Amino acid sequence: MINKITSQAGIIPTSSSVPLKASPAVSQQKFADFLKNSIDQVNKSQNQSDLATQKLANGENIDLHEVMITSQKASITLQATLEIRNKVVEAYQEVMRMQV
């Protein structure tokens, strides 16, 4: 049975649930915070990988598969971040080439 779409379900916005347009300064700050949090998460992933590798090298009680999984997660997050950065730079360059 298909449920009825109502504003109470949050699917159809009501006038009270539509967010007000944020000022450019607020939007820039939110975007900057988002970027900083994302980079912090990538850095945290890299640090966890380094710590796990160091523990393995020191002979501490850590499984090799845990080290490899942590290392691969860190590698994938860094690669994804670099690809996103590359796409953003390409988009910026494309915008700068546009004639007004």
Q: What pLDDT, on the 0 to 100 scale, is given for residue 100?
A: 81
Please name the residue ranges forming H helices in the chain: 24-57, 64-97
Q: What are the tens digits of pLDDT across the range 19-60?
A: 667 788 899 999 899 999 999 999 999 999 999 999 999 999
Range of the domain at 53: 23-97
Q: What are phi and psi of 41, to 5 degrees?
A: -65, -40
Q: What pLDDT, on the 0 to 100 scale, is given for residue 6?
A: 47
Give the pLDDT band of residue 17 (cuts 50, 70, 90): low
Residue 11 domain flag: no
Give pTM, 2 decimals: 0.68
Residue 5 domain flag: no
Residue 5 has pLDDT above 90, yes or no: no
Residue 65 domain flag: yes
Residue 12 domain flag: no
Q: What pLDDT, on the 0 to 100 scale, is given for residue 3?
A: 47
8 Å CB contact between 62 and 55: yes
8 Å CB contact between 56 and 62: yes
Number of domains the chain is built from: 1
Residues 6+ away with beta carbon under 8 Å from 62: 52, 55, 56
